[in-house]
Amino acid sequence: MLRAKTPEAKNKRLKLFLYGSPGIGKTLSALQFPNSYVIDCERGTDFYSEIIKKNGSVVFQSNNPDEIREEIRLLLTEEHPYKTLIIDPITQVYNSVQEKWTRVFEKHAKTEKEAEIQDFGMRYWGRVKSEFKAIQRMFMALDLNVIITSHQKDIYGAGMTKIGVGPDSMKGDEYLFDLVFNLQKVGEKRMAKTIKERSEVGKNKFPEEFEWSYANFLQFYGKEIIERESAPVPMATFGQVELVKKLVEVLKVEDATVVKWFQKADCDSWEEMTKDQIGKAIGFLQDKITAIAPEVKSAEATDNGTPLKSKKEAKR
């Protein structure tokens, strides 16, 4: 059965990528958004305590990728008063992920020379990209506005000729976002140059260049979207994770099949699935068990992940 549907217009949360030269005011610009949860990766908020308090925002200072991932998970799954997540800058998060895996690979390097030159090959970069993309997936799943800032770097073409500027982060970071802006200073004003905007043909929300201000974002993108209350996303429970692992083991589901399920859910593990996503996987596997042994009641998860006993087991 074909599964395609007629698409419907969606009022998507504001998810933007902002880059600019050092000292241009990326941090201060992002802080204009009230009720923000700021993950400050290079202590850029130290001089903005007044505006942060005035706007009802809070700051978590860290460049530890494990801590950052946990904070985003909590923002995703718990009720809270915040409407915008700011990560400032993502450049430091990416660098920290590299440093984390460099330490791991140095520890397990086969030779001292391999550790010194840090040429760990594709396995190393696979780990780096996998962890960084997991962080990206989590903040893109948030029912929050998301502002990601990045350092700026020069872009060079043939013959080392400078051809422009771009964000200094993992290659292709900006492709993840519907909105990409380059912050520039014109006189006393901070101007945003629209580098990319995904929208329906002829229905762009932002002009090619505009003064960066919270008021302009409310006007261009819509106050009802930007100031909407956030809603937590129910994630896979411990019981669901335990049950699905047992079902996969019992049915001897191939690793390649599990990987396809992870890819479809855009995650790397059962724990990263939503409650609905993992529920569908459990239902599918339970149906397979029922088809194989109709007399056995499909397993169901309790709060602690222990399957209910089958009818045969209950009689014993």
pLDDT (tens digit, 9 = 90+) per residue, 160-205? 888 888 888 888 788 889 999 999 999 989 999 999 999 888 889 9
What percent of the chain is predicted at pLDDT more than 90? 57
Weakest mean pLDDT among 1-10, 119-128, 143-152, 253-262 = 1-10
- At 315, the pLDDT band (50, 70, 90 cuts) reads very low
What is the tens place of the pLDDT at every residue in 140-150?
989 999 999 99
Q: What is the pTM of this model?
A: 0.80
Instruction: Indicate the average pLDDT of the chain.
Output: 86
C-alpha span between 87 and 167 (Å, rounded) = 14
48, 28 Cβ separation under 8 angstroms: yes
pLDDT at 313 over 90: no
CB 32 within 8 A of CB 161: no
For residue 112, the model assigns a pLDDT of 59
User: Is the CB of residue 16 less than 8 Å from the CB of residue 197?
Assistant: no
Query: Are 74 and 230 in contact, with CB atoms under 8 Å apart?
Result: no
Which residue is it, tokens 């770097």?
153
pLDDT greater than 70 at residue 71 = yes
pLDDT for 58 beyond 60 = yes
73, 51 contact by CB (below 8 A):
no
User: Helix, strand, coil shares of the chain as percentages rounded to 5?
Assistant: 45, 20, 35
pLDDT in tens, 90-136: 999 999 999 998 888 888 766 655 555 556 678 888 889 888 988 99
Instruction: Quote the pLDDT of residue 167.
Output: 87
Q: Under a CB-based contact definition with an 8 Å cutoff, are residues 24 and 185 in contact?
A: yes
Structure tokens at 197: 């905007």
Domains contained in the chain, CATH given: 15-226 (3.40.50), 238-315 (no CATH)
pLDDT of 309 reads 46
